[in-house]
């Protein structure tokens, strides 16, 4: 290997080899490392085997290569070595100035190039801020990044872990080494770093914290409890709190209606508020760093709850068919009023009108149906209140009065008139008699009446609320009562066939009289005539059946009176006498005659025989009769009041008497044998009968008991035969015109051997 001796020689060689430069191009050259720091070693090599050529840096020759020898330029001799085997060029202790284009040129065949970068490593990256305490919006942040050493530097800015790029208020300058944030905001606060790098090293600065003061802003006020709008019931408690966004934290001061309060907290509490606490509440924030102020305010209204709600009427009372107004008296602020009737909400209509924001309710007109309990209910934002009931009681009247009382009355008595007119409340009353006031009550009790108190009684009903009055009247007639009534007669005696008159004697005024007989009303007929307004009754002619008890009754408007009974007994007769006496009688008897005749009063009776009075009583008993006492007996009746007499007569025939009657038997009655009874009569007789056990025996035995066999012949009774069936008591009867005479009893007991044995 030899060394290049002079530049002249080098130039000579160069001209020879540049010769072929156009022919071969662009074979690759590699570096052992690229880029690389100053002071390090590098080996540049190629795949080609170079026998003749040069290594050049930029335009400077480093080494010339010849077959079998090399020449290294003097300027590189200390730091360069060339391996002829591998054609690799090694440079030691690289310098910054070694950066540049390296070329390997072979003669006529090959040329390769490589740009080598030699850099100073970065050290001691520092970050400086012009200021770190910044005010939002006012200040610009300037951050400067620097290194003690390093080349080819590139900068990356970091805020926290995020890269900061230019744009907006962020500017990069000074080859990106300076970061400028114009007019910082609170979002720019944070730790900033710069990261510096080149091809051979990288280093991050310590961080610098930008401390940004901001606010106060976004200021709010919250009021608890939350209501909208801000209307609060007095007595309650309210909390107001304010917030703001501020750094450092803002100072707070509260204001009320433009005046500062001694309140510096973020909250104030209002206890037991009153209406005078109403107003504007404001909180004022001050950031002493930013020197900025901010405030927020709210208007609050404190309202007393309604305390008194009363219904009353305005104007007069409720009078039927007239307007009537109710008023709702409310103390305090009221927003709304409602009216209730008997707990039903009232809506206005044609006859119910609301006025003055419902403070008044007018009935135009008021009616009966408006009676009831009315309440008004008032509302404000914090309360509602309902009044006590107000009772509407519609006043009316008086209607037309009605009078109760008699139209006729007795003198001496008091009577009561009462007057009533429909009305609410009850009317007042006055009574007038012929226009003179007599009472001021609805009832008027008269003094004991006299006849001159007949006349017109007027009732006046008046109503002091409606102011109306009405009158009604009634007529009264005062009548004397009937004091005595008697039936009288002037004629005596009352005789049948003659006219007769009864008179009703009345003490007092009678409007009507009528007559009664035995409790029944007496009617007129062709014989009974009433005269003088029924004062007299005349019987023409009088008859016996007019006898009875008579009353007359007198009536007037105030009563009636009946006379005591008057007994009328009509005299009449005698009628033809009636005689009771036998037509036949036996000698030796006493016979009684009776005679009677209809007559009032009873007649005197006398008996006559053969022209001689034999008795003067109605009952006449003869002496012991003898045959010569047969004849005509006459009875005469005489009424000494009517002066009349009347007679009748009857015949009596006296016959000879039957003296005795007996039953005789001639044999003993033996069973199944014939037996005969005989009736023995002393004196004349017309006929004989037989009796058994008080019963008459028939003539014909077959009609009787079938076991009895008998026949009757003149004065004998034949049993054919006699049996025990004939046992009994027997009688015979002898009769004449005057009487029947019975024999004593004959007991028949039939003799019966056989029967007794049986017993
Ligand atoms: C460069 O090479 C020399 C000698 O060949 C050696 O002493 C030195 O350590 C090398 N430098 C580096 C950075 O490797
Ligand atoms: C030169 O290069 C060859 C092949 O790469 C190698 O074997 C040899 O050791 C090198 N010579 C020197 C002095 O480094
Ligand atoms: C880093 O740089 C600063 C100023 O730029 C200097 O004061 C300091 O000494 C340097 N430190 C080193 C190790 O170079
Ligand atoms: C912010 O800027 C405004 C004018 O733009 C100024 O009035 C105000 O004083 C500044 N605030 C601060 C804290 O510098
Ligand atoms: C600065 O950084 C941007 C990317 O953020 C990059 O596009 C630009 O090339 C850089 N400027 C310099 C001078 O390095
Ligand atoms: C403040 O209010 C604005 C507008 O309402 C909203 O966009 C913003 O996010 C709010 N800021 C904060 C910190 O709440
Ligand atoms: C609330 O205030 C009223 C007067 O405004 C007072 O009479 C009442 O006692 C107070 N109530 C309470 C609970 O303090
Ligand atoms: C109702 O009103 C009448 C007069 O119109 C008055 O005399 C009376 O006192 C009032 N009643 C009430 C409870 O206010
Ligand atoms: C008046 O009363 C009517 C019926 O109750 C109701 O609808 C209306 O809201 C009320 N008005 C006021 C101002 O109270
Ligand atoms: C008005 O309303 C009242 C009760 O609410 C009712 O008694 C009355 O008859 C109504 N009048 C009319 C004209 O509808
Ligand atoms: C009226 O007030 C009572 C409490 O005093 C309440 O219970 C009721 O709901 C209220 N009525 C209305 C309609 O607001
Ligand atoms: C009754 O009413 C009439 C008018 O209708 C009046 O002239 C008279 O005075 C009233 N009488 C009484 C007693 O009130």
Question: Cα(55)–Cα(50) distance, rounded to whole angstroms?
Answer: 10
Q: CA of 283: how far to CAs of 226, 243, 245, 253, 271, in Å? A: 18, 9, 14, 6, 18
Flag whether pLDDT at 303 surpasses 60: yes
Backbone angles phi, psi at 582, to 5 degrees: -75, 155
Helices and strands (DSSP H and E) totals, the chain:
2, 71
Output the CA torsion 56→57→58→59 (10° steps): -50
Please choose, from the candidates 133, 131, 120, 124, the residue with its C-alpha nearest in 3D space to the C-alpha of residue 205.
Answer: 124
Ligand 10, CB within 6 Å, residue ranges: 346, 349-352, 369
Distance of CA 522 to the CA centre of its chain: 68
Backbone angles phi, psi at 696, to 5 degrees: -70, 140
Q: Which two tokens stand for residue 47?
A: 């795949």
Best residue among 326, 349, 354, 378 to mutate for probing ligand 9, ranked by most atoms within 8 Å of CB:
354
- Minimum mean pLDDT range among 182-196, 449-463, 649-663, 688-702: 688-702
The answer, yes or no, to whether any atom of ligand 5 lies below 6 A from the CB of 154, is yes
Question: Cα(315)–Cα(136) distance, rounded to whole angstroms?
Answer: 73
740 DSSP β-pair partners: 735
The answer, yes or no, to whether any atom of ligand 4 lies below 6 A from the CB of 291, is yes
Best residue among 428, 459, 469 to mutate for probing ligand 12, ranked by most atoms within 8 Å of CB:
469
Percent of the chain with pLDDT over 90: 84
Q: Which residue has the tokens 């050290």?
A: 123
Q: Which two tokens stand for residue 71?
A: 């020449």
- The neighbour count for residue 595, using CB atoms within 10 Å, is 27
Output the CA torsion 463→467→468→471 (10° steps): 60
The answer, yes or no, to whether any atom of ligand 6 lies below 6 A from the CB of 739, is no
Strand (E) positions, 315-351?
A: 324-331, 336-341, 344-345
* Region class of 421: left (phi > 0), else alpha (psi between -120 and 50), else beta: beta
Secondary structure in 3-state letters for 678-716? EEEEECCCCEEEEEECCEECCCEHHHCCCCCCEEEECCE
Best residue among 232, 272, 277, 307 to mutate for probing ligand 7, ranked by most atoms within 8 Å of CB:
272
30 DSSP β-pair partners: 45
**Residues 483-536: pLDDT tens digits?**
999 999 987 899 999 999 999 999 999 999 999 999 999 999 999 999 999 999
Q: Which of 4 and 223 is assigned the larger pLDDT?
A: 223
| Domains of the chain, each with CATH number or no CATH | 2-119 (2.60.40.10), 126-206 (2.60.40.10), 213-303 (2.60.40.10), 308-392 (2.60.40.10), 402-479 (2.60.40.10), 484-568 (2.60.40.10), 578-655 (2.60.40.10), 660-757 (2.60.40.10)
Give the distance (Å) from ligand 5 centre to CA of residue 175.
Answer: 7
Q: Among all ligands shown, which has an atom nearest to the Cα of 1? A: 2
Which atom of ligand 6 sits closest to the CA of residue 245?
Answer: 13
Q: Among all ligands shown, which has an atom nearest to the Cα of 292? A: 4
The answer, yes or no, to whether any atom of ligand 1 lies below 6 A from the CB of 630, is no
pLDDT band of 710, cuts 50, 70, 90: confident
The answer, yes or no, to whether any atom of ligand 6 lies below 6 A from the CB of 218, is yes
Question: What is the full DSSP assignment across 528-542?
Answer: EEEETTTTEEEESS-
Flag whether pLDDT at 159 surpasses 60: yes
Best residue among 308, 309, 311, 312 to mutate for probing ligand 8, ranked by most atoms within 8 Å of CB:
312
Which atom of ligand 12 sits closest to the CA of residue 467?
Answer: 14
- The neighbour count for residue 49, using CB atoms within 10 Å, is 11
**Residues 716-726: pLDDT tens digits?**
999 888 888 88
Task: Output the residue whose Cα is nearest ligand 10's atom 11.
Answer: 351
Tell me the CB-side half-sphere exposure of residue 758, using CA atoms within 13 A. Answer: 4
Question: Cα(439)–Cα(459) distance, rounded to whole angstroms?
Answer: 9
- Residues 370 and 392: beta-carbon distance below 8 Å: yes
The answer, yes or no, to whether any atom of ligand 9 lies below 6 A from the CB of 336, is yes
Q: Which two tokens stand for residue 374?
A: 């009315």
Question: Cα(122)–Cα(125) distance, rounded to whole angstroms?
Answer: 7
**Residues 23-49: pLDDT tens digits?**
445 568 899 999 999 999 999 988 887
């Amino acid at each position: 290997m030899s060394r290049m001796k002079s530049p002249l020689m080098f130039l000579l060689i160069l001209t020879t080899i540049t010769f072929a430069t156009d022919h071969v191009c662009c074979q690759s050259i590699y570096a052992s490392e690229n880029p690389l720091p100053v002071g390090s070693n590098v080996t540049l090599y190629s795949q080609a085997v170079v026998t003749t050529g040069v290594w050049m840096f930029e335009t400077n020759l480093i080494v010339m290569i010849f077959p079998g020898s090399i020449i290294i330029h003097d300027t590189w001799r200390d730091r360069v070595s060339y391996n002829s085997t591998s054609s690799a060029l090694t440079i030691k202790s690289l310098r910054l100035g070694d950066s540049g284009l390296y070329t390997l040129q072979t003669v006529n065949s090959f040329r390769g190039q490589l740009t080598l970068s030699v850099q100073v490593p970065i050290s001691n990256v520092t970050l400086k801020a012009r200021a770190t305490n910044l005010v939002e919006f006012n200040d610009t942040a300037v951050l400067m990044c620097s290194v003690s050493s390093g080349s080819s530097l590139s900068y990356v800015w970091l805020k926290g872990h995020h890269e900061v790029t230019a744009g907006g208020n962020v500017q990069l300058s000074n080859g990106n080494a300076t970061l400028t944030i114009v007019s910082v905001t609170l979002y720019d606060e944070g730790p900033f770093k710069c990261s510096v790098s080149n091809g051979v090293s990288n280093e991050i600065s310590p961080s610098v914290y930008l401390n940004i003061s901001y606010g106060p802003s976004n200021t709010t006020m919250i009021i608890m409890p939350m209501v909208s709008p801000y209307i609060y019931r007095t007595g309650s408690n309210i909390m107001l709190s304010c917030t703001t966004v501020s750094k450092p934290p803002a100072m707070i001061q509260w204001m009320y209606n433009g005046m500062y309060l001694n309140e510096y907290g973020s909250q104030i509490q209002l206890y037991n508020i009153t209406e005078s606490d109403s107003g504007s509440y404001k909180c004022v924030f001050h950031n002493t760093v930013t020197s900025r102020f901010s405030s927020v305010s709210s208007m609050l209204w404190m309202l007393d709850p309604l305390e008194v709600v009363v219904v009353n009427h305005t104007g007069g009372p409720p009078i039927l068919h007239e307007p009537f107004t109710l008023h709702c008296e409310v103390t305090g602020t009221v927003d709304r009023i409602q009216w209730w009737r008997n707990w039903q909400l009232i809506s206005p209509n044609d006859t119910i009108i609301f006025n003055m924001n419902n403070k008044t309710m007018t009935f135009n007109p008021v009616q009966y149906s408006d009676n009831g309990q009315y309440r008004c209910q008032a509302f404000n934002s914090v309360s509602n209140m309902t009044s006590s009931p107000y009772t509407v009681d519609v006043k009316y009247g008086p209607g037309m009065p009605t009078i109760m009382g008699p139209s006729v009355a007795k003198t001496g008595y008091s009577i009561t008139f009462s007057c009533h007119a429909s009305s609410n409340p009850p009317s007042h009353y006055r009574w007038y008699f012929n226009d003179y006031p007599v009472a001021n009550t609805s009832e008027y009790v008269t003094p004991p009446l006299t006849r001159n108190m007949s006349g017109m009684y007027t009732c006046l009903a008046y109503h002091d609320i409606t102011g109306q009055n009405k009158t009604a009247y009634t007529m009264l007639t005062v009548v004397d009562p009937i004091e005595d009534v008697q039936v009288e007669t002037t004629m005596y005696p009352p005789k049948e066939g003659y006219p007769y008159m009864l008179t009703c004697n009345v003490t007092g005024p009678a409007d009507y009289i009528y007559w009664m007989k035995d409790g029944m009303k007496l009617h007129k007929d062709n014989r009974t005539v009433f005269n003088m307004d029924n004062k007299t009754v005349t019987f023409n002619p009088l008859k016996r059946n007019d006898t009875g008890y008579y009353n007359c009754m007198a009536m007037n408007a105030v009563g009636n009176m009946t006379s005591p009974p008057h007994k009328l007994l009509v005299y009449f007769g005698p009628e033809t006498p009636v005689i009771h006496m036998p037509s036949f009688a036996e000698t030796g008897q006493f016979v009684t005659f009776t005679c009677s005749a209809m007559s009032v009063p009873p007649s005197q009776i006398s008996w006559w025989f053969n022209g001689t009075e034999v008795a003067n009583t109605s009952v006449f008993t003869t002496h012991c009769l003898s045959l010569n006492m047969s004849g005509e007996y006459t009875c005469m009746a005489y009424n000494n009041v009517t002066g009349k007499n009347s007679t009748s007569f009857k015949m009596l025939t006296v016959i000879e008497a039957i003296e005795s009657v007996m039953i005789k038997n001639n044999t003993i009655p033996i069973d199944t044998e014939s037996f005969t009874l005989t009736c023995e009569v002393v004196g004349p007789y017309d006929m004989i009968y037989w009796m058994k056990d008080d019963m008459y025996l028939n003539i014909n035995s077959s009609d009787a008991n079938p076991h009895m066999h008998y026949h009757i012949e003149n004065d004998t009774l034949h049993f054919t035969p006699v049996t025990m069936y004939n046992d009994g008591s027997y009688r015979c009867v002898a009769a004449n015109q005057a009487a029947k005479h019975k024999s004593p009893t004959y007991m028949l007991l039939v003799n019966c051997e056989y029967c007794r044995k049986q017993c």
